[in-house]
Amino acid sequence: MRWLTILVAALLAAVGISVLLKDQTGYVMLTWGEWTVETSLALFVLLLSALFIVAYLVVRTLVTLFNIPKGTGRWNEERRRKKSKRTLVQGQVELVEGQWQAAEKHLLKHVDKSDAPLLNYLGAAQAAQQQGAIERRDHYLQLAYKEDKKAAIAVQLTQAELQLAEGKPEQALKTLSYLKEVAPRHVRVLTQLAQVYEKLGAWKELRELLPTLRRRHLLSDEERKRLEQKSSLGLLEEAIRSGSDKQIREVWSSLPKEMRGNPDLVYRYAETLLQHNQGDDAEAILRSTLRKQWDGKLVRLYGEVEGARVERQLSVADSWLESHPQDADLLLTLGRLALRNQQWSKARRHLESALAIGPSAEACQELAGLLDQMGEKDRAVEYYREGMRLALKRPGKGIALTAPAGESPGKELPASAPQPLPPTG
C-alpha cells in the first residue's frame, strides 16, 4: 500500500510538471551515432520521471528479494524467542505448583534461545533437586555460572539455599563462607549464614554475626531476640557440658545484659548453680530477676534453692505474696520454704492453697509427705494418688481440700512434731 501511494504521488507530480511545461516551446534533441531524437521539453520531462519511477521500483524489488532470506531468518528467530519466553513462564508456574518434572522439561526446552538462560538453569536446578537428582542440579548450576559469570553470587546463593534445603548445612556453610569473603556486605549472604549457623549450632559464630544483622536492619526485632536467646542458651549449654565452673561463669558474664535477664536463661544458669552446690549464688540471681519480672518457673525454682539463710528466703518469698496472693507457683514455693524452716502448719496452709488455686503433682507430693510424717496416713495416700493422677494427666475429680480434724490452718505444731521428708523437685 505504501509503494502504491508513492507511485501515484510520483505520477501526479509528473503530470503536474507536464501541465506547468505545456506552454513552453522548448524542445530536447538527443543524438547517438546516426540516431537523432527530438521531442518537446514537457514530454521529455514526463518520460524521464516515468523512467526514474520504473528504475526505483525495479531496484526496490531486487533489494526486497535479496533480503527475503535474511528477513525470514529474523522472523524465525523472533518466533523461537517467543516460544522460549512462553516455556520459561510455563516452567516457572509449574515450579511454583510443584510439578517438578514438567517444570524441568519446559525450562530447558528452548533455553538456547532464551533471553534469560540464567533463570532457566536456576529454575531447572531447583526442579532437579526436588526430584532427588543432585547431579543434574549441580550440572544446571554449572551451566548457569558459565552462561553469566557476572551472576556468580546469585548462582552460588541458589546453590547454598538448595544445599540447606537438602539437609546439607555443612556444604552450604562452605559455599556461604566463600561468598562472605567475596561479598562481605551482601544482604542475602549474611541472612543465609545466620540460618546455617543456627542449623549447625555454631552459636559463637551466630552471636558474632548478630550485631551486623541488627545494624543493617536485616532481622525483625522478634527474630533478632529469638536468635540472641538461642545462641546465648547454646553457648551456656556448651559451657555446662564442659563441667567447668569457671567457663560457665565466664560465658554467663559475656552474655548481653538483656539475655542475663531472660527467664529461660536465668532458669538454666540458676539450675546449673544448684547442681554445682552453689545455692547462695542461685538464690541471689533468682531473687534479683524476680524483682524485675515475674516468672512462674523461676518462682518454683526459688523454692528448691537450699541456701545458707533459709529464713531469709522464706521472708523474701513472703514479701512477694502481697503482690501475688493467688499465684499457685508462689504458694508452692512458700510451702517448700516453710517445710525447710519447720513451720509445719504454715507449709500445710500454703500447699493446700496452692492446690486449691492450681492443682499440681508437685504440690500433692509435698503435702502428702508432710501429712505422712504427721501421722495422717490415709490423707497422705489420697494426695499421693492425686499427685500420680496429675503427673500422668489422667481424668478424675480430684480430692477435697480440707484441714484435718482438730487442726486450724494457722496453728503451729510443737517442736517435737515429726519432720517431713526433704522436699523433692
Mean pLDDT of 91-99: 85
C-beta of residue 174 within 8 angstroms of C-beta of residue 191? no
399 pLDDT exceeds 70?
Answer: no
110: pLDDT confidence band, cut at 50, 70 and 90?
confident
16: pLDDT confidence band, cut at 50, 70 and 90?
low
The pTM of the full predicted model, rounded to 2 decimals, is 0.68
pLDDT tens column, 36-47 = 777 766 666 667
Helix (H, G, I), strand (E, B) or coil at 387: helix
397 pLDDT exceeds 50?
Answer: yes
217-222 contact pairs (CB < 8 A, 24+): 218/187, 218/190, 218/191, 219/191, 219/194
User: What are the domain boundaries of the chain?
Assistant: 79-147, 336-394+407-425
Distance CA 59, CA 57 (A): 5
**What is the structure's pLDDT at 148?**
79
Mean pLDDT of 98-111: 85
pLDDT tens column, 401-418 = 554 433 433 334 443 344
With CA atoms as reference, report the closest residue to 27 among 45, 12, 2, 11: 45
Return left, alpha or beta for 7; rule: phi > 0 is left, psi -120 to 50 is alpha, else beta: alpha
State what percent of residues in the chain have pLDDT above 70.
Answer: 81
86 pLDDT exceeds 50?
Answer: yes
pLDDT tens column, 179-223 = 999 889 899 999 999 999 999 999 999 999 999 999 999 999 999
pLDDT tens column, 135-161 = 888 888 888 888 877 888 888 898 998
**What is the structure's pLDDT at 250?**
95
63 pLDDT exceeds 80?
Answer: no
Instruction: Give the list of residues 6+ apart from residue 232 with CB closer than 8 angstroms, or none.
Output: 203, 207, 255, 256, 259, 262, 265
